[in-house]
Structure 1
Amino acid sequence: MKRATALLLLVVSTLLASSNAEEAFDVRQHLSTVTRYSVAKQVAENSFVRFMSSNVPDGCTPIHLNLVDMRSSLNVGFYHQARHGTRAPTKKRIGELNKLEARLEPLLRDAEEQKLPLQKVPSWLSGWKSPWKGKLKGGELITQGEVELYDLGIRIREKFPDVFNEEYHPEVYAIRATQVPRASASAVAFGMALFGGRGNLGPGRNRAFAVISESRASDILLRFFDSCENYKDYRKREEPAVDKLKEPTFDEITSALVSRFGLNFTRQDTSSLWFLCKQEASLLNITDQACSLFTPSEIALLEWTDDLELFILKGYGKSLNYQMGVPLLVDVLQAMEQAIKAQEEKLPAGSYEKARLRFAHAETVVPFSCLLGLFHEGFGFQQIQREEPLEPPPKPPQRRNWRGSVVAPFAGNNMLVLYSCPANSSSKYFVQVLHNEDPIPVPGCDGSDVCPFEVFKERIVAPHLKSDYNTLCNVNPVKAEQCPSTTSKSSLLFRWLSWLWNDDKGSRKDDL
């Protein structure tokens, strides 16, 4: 009797634990790169990805800040690189959801004609309409994305008051974005927060500020993937292979859906329903429709397939993915060297750059994170510097560092802060690395978030300078002075327009 009672208690406790785990599961934390920024911060806090307290030495003050999205009287520097905020689905993806809507009606009708039991079919499937049906355009920054970047700007201004204490000038606070509306809109939202209350425009005392963009055809700092012919060839070759890697997982989950709901779902249906789940959960905060079709373990697998694709096509799966981002890394280094020179020469405030603020895409942020050696599985830093591909992220239920929800969520960012330190410090200048605003251990800095500047330059930057961008990407730029003698103006214009038209029809409109 005692044994029976003990067994019953064990079964009940197991069921309760399982039930609690199901209730605690939040699909919004498992959406890979479609994750909202605020949720991504929760994922980082609750995961095994080890963020840390700041290791900045006492008495050091930041003198330059780089955004790629302080106790002495010295000036501050900042480099910031951010992905755009939460956006609507692109025109191509809206078309996919329209096809799903058209697909569901005959799927349900066929089940009725075969007299299959439909009591297990969720009621929302009947008559479902895509929330984006009828939209002719897509990919724009939504209100939620604007708020993400605005709030980010507020926090950064509060965290680094000495950086943003100067009167605005575009050569003091340089803001750049790619020639994609959601990126430039993100820059504007960020800038409104950063410089709000410091002008004379409207009740908020806003002020105008400049956002500079390079042509898509020549922007090798923020859209290096657009001009890299070797990378575009690699993507074209590798995408079918990535789809093949994902097929067993999708087939397994498709089979489970068919068994669970009695509908004749295909692999494509499962893929479209997963995409719908991500859009509903991230953009609309709806988790009880498409997402409810999948179990937590299935969602973990689907998230992993997205992370695997990100790894292979944009991350550590091939060194070209991040090596083509070296011009951006060099730009960061040059900004720091200029800040150090201004510090050494004691230039007056307002005469030198204090921050570089960059707003782009996941295709920009991910390679930059890889160049810094972030988010590999713990043994890959030397391979990264030797330009060798790393092993893909392990499949659930194994844990992994590489998660798109942390590496490149909406509004995800890298910040590099250059500090000037007292004479009694081990180094005069230090670089701190922050990811999504949190200090993060950098392998090249002995697992610290803070590196002596010369160590950062020697261990992080120098190993990636083995070849230049043009050689790596097989780019043969035509020198401007050669154009009149080698190509007629009309012929050159036709070539550029043809390239832009063909490229616009490709995948770049779906930049993350």
Structure 2
Amino acid sequence: MIPFLGARCPSAGDIRKFDVLDKLFENASLSKDWQRSPFGQSQASLLTQRGERELYLLGKRSRKRYSKFWSNITYDANVVEFKSTQVSRYSVIDRKRTSPVRTIGDCLLHGLAHGLRDIRRDNVTAGIHTLQASDEELLMHHACPLWTATVENSSVLKEQVEIYIHTHLSKIARRISNQLGIRPPLEAIHAEHIYRACSYAVTYSGRIDTWCSLLEEEDFLKLEYLHDMIKYYGFSYGSPLNARMACQFYTGLVKSVDDFLDGKSSIKSMMKFAHAETIIFLTTILGLFKDDYPLDADRFYRSKSRKFRTSKIAPFASNIYFEIYNCTDNYESTIFIQMLVNEKPVVIPGCVYTFCSWDRFKQLLGSNIGCDFDEMCKL
């Protein structure tokens, strides 16, 4: 299971953007009664109460879905493996803070443990394995110099974003400035800041009558496409390297399953706490949610048939499950894998059904199993 954090406070960068918006709109009559940004830098990226509940309920649903499996397991670090990235909000206990802080692992395991014998958060704490900062398995782009040089700092991505902002967002900013008499007028990028402020207003307080009220339906579609385009080039099909970035994860997955099947391992369950980028890398390497066209600045952003939508692939509390089945027929056993993205089974491209034979799955991964990550990521 690979869960991504639930609803959280904005990042430090977003909080600075919202502070700028507050100053730009401080004299606008429409927004005088609005609550100013409630977020401080000390809250940056921490889980909200809603996010805690989302993860708790995810844990409860997991317990219900796999009740037969969990009822036969007494927690043991040699049976249930936990890993998290080296980011404090992801691990089970945040040891960097003096006050109690709810983390993704803490909340999810609380839901999972509820009613299960001998699986308690305190028991799990000692068994959590926090990966190093240069994590090739769950935070793979941070461990890849080639990705930083050619993808994160891609001139193609910057060009596409600049074209799109100039073509679409400048019109939104101009309209809002004229309607509310904002002087000096908003810059094009401020439309994107309003979109983000809107999303956090909904997530944090359930309000759609503040920043969201400034945007029209067409604006939401344009701004959604901008964010999808950035993720498309940064973590998915916009760069060939992205289609290999999860090779170390799948190498570990295949080895772990094969070792268990061969009697070399007692690990029956792996839970890994990761990031939205991880979710996208894991789906990209398998060819999931791939459109027949690139997401570029000239593409028709309103297309309802578009598969690559990060709001569907990696929203708050997104997750991936890999289920392994041993099916016996006429005394012959066949191993199958089923992949669930956000708790829904998906057909892996190259497989006919959601249940894909283990051998076929490994065949589809090809040279990604046993990849030399360091060599691949050399500058």
- TM (norm. structure 1) is 0.65
Shift of 1:404: 0.9
Give the count of matched residue pairs: 357
Cα separation, partners in 2 of 1:337 and 1:156, compared to 1, 3 Å: same
Shift of 1:225: 1.0
The aligned runs of 1:402-441 (5 Å cut-off) are 402-424=308-330, 428-441=334-347
The aligned runs of 1:71-470 (5 Å cut-off) are 81-105=2-26, 108=28, 122=30, 124-125=31-32, 128-132=35-39, 134-164=40-70, 165-184=72-91, 185-198=103-116, 207-209=122-124, 210-217=127-134, 219-234=135-150, 235-238=152-155, 240-247=158-165, 248-263=167-182, 264-342=185-263, 352-377=266-291, 379=292, 391-392=294-295, 394-399=299-304, 400-424=306-330, 428-446=334-352, 448-459=353-364, 461-465=365-369, 468-470=372-374
Shift of 1:323: 1.1
Partner of residue 497, structure 1: none
Stretches of structure 2 lacking an aligned partner (at least 5 in a row) = 92-102
Q: Does structure 1 conserve the Cα–Cα contact (< 8 Å) formed by 2:320 and 2:342? A: yes
- Give the stretch that moved more between structures: 412-421 or 207-216: 207-216
Q: Does structure 1 conserve the Cα–Cα contact (< 8 Å) formed by 2:9 and 2:43? A: no
Shift of 1:271: 2.1
Shift of 1:463: 4.7
Following the alignment from structure 1 to structure 2, what is the Cα–Cα distance between the partners of residues 361 and 425? Answer: 41
Cα separation, partners in 2 of 1:331 and 1:104, compared to 1, 3 Å: same
- TM (norm. structure 2) is 0.87
Shift of 1:242: 4.2
Cα separation, partners in 2 of 1:307 and 1:200, compared to 1, 3 Å: closer
Shift of 1:154: 1.1
Partner of residue 493, structure 1: none
The aligned amino acid for 1:216 is A
Stretches of structure 1 lacking an aligned partner (at least 5 in a row) = 1-66, 68-80, 109-120, 346-350, 380-389, 476-512
- Give the stretch that moved more between structures: 238-247 or 292-301: 238-247
The percent of aligned pairs where both chains have the same amino acid is 24
Higher RCO by CA contacts (8 Å cutoff, separation 6 or greater) = 1
Larger radius of gyration: 1
Q: Does structure 2 conserve the Cα–Cα contact (< 8 Å) formed by 1:369 and 1:414? A: no
The aligned amino acid for 2:141 is F
Partner of residue 375, structure 2: 471
Cα separation, partners in 2 of 1:87 and 1:173, compared to 1, 3 Å: same
Following the alignment from structure 1 to structure 2, what is the Cα–Cα distance between the partners of residues 333 and 466? Answer: 10
Following the alignment from structure 2 to structure 1, what is the Cα–Cα distance between the partners of residues 237 and 370? Answer: 18
Shift of 1:228: 0.6
Deviations along 1:261-316, whole A, 9 cap, x unmatched? 34332213222211111111122211111011111111111111111111111111
Shift of 1:443: 1.3
Q: Does structure 1 conserve the Cα–Cα contact (< 8 Å) formed by 2:245 and 2:285? A: no
Shift of 1:335: 1.8
Shift of 1:353: 1.0
Q: Does structure 2 conserve the Cα–Cα contact (< 8 Å) formed by 1:373 and 1:444? A: no
